[in-house]
A = this chain, B = another copy of it.
Amino acid sequence: MTATFRNWQAVQDEVLRRIHDRTWLPGDLIPNEADLAKEFGCARVTVNRALRALADAGLLDRRRKAGTRIATHPVRKVTLNIPVIRLEIEGGGGAYGHNLLKREHKRPPATVRKRMRLPPDADALHLVALHLSNAQPHALEDRWINLEAVPDAANVDFSIISANEWLVLNAPFTNGDISLSATNATRAEAAALQTTTGDALFKMERHTWVNDTSVTFVRMTFAPGYRMQSNI
């Protein structure tokens, strides 16, 4: 050992270097924090921070008492940014617009009701909106809002501010799930997005909660050619 590593990022880089070197192979047990701290000439907490970050990234497996191992199957974690659509479009240099196509207060269909865990007779607010980039269809939003969870939504004019954006500002959620898929455009989707029935469309379904009560369930269907990108 020659160099010393004064901050957690330097420690992290050194560990990554050893993984790349194949000094440490997948499955290998590496020295414990105290020993590494001594070797690196820094405090144990510093090593801890570096290794914890690598474990969060999926490159290390750490268990109390069992120690730290190089992950045998580094589950790559990709963080996708799901921005407010307006900002996504404006960030790409486009002019944003949006049309509220439908607003109704009704009993949701069984599939939605079940997913949102609403009682059988519950009403919800249903919105359909089209997001535009430079006046071209960008994405179709089909959304259900649980007014029990967000009563204020009943009085908002969603033709002025999109539900997407209003909810971000006014209905922070505690947790949610997201699902990405590909589907062939239905006739209705094709009409709204000005494309052809059967075209492959990228679809994102999101469902958010405050603790155990459903807030909103939204299905975004993007115009053909849409890509979701990120770095690893």
Binding site for B on A (CB under 8 A): 16, 19-20, 26, 58-59, 72-84, 87, 165, 168-169, 172-184, 198-203, 206, 208, 210, 224-232
Contact = CB atoms under 8 A, between A and B. Distances in A.
B74 A231 contact: no
A119 B196 CA distance: 39
Nearest to A228: B180
Given A16-B174, A200-B200, A73 B229 contact: no
A138 to B, nearest CB: 15
B179 A20 contact: no
B82 A78 contact: yes
A173 B19 CA distance: 10
Given A179-B227, A202-B182, A172 B80 contact: no
Contact of A74 (B77, B172, B198, B227): B172
Nearest to A71: B168
Nearest to A16: B174
B202 A169 contact: no
A232 B210 contact: no
A19 B174 CA distance: 10
Nearest to A198: B198
A83 B73 contact: yes
Nearest to A57: B79
B202 A184 contact: no
A226 to B, nearest CB: 7
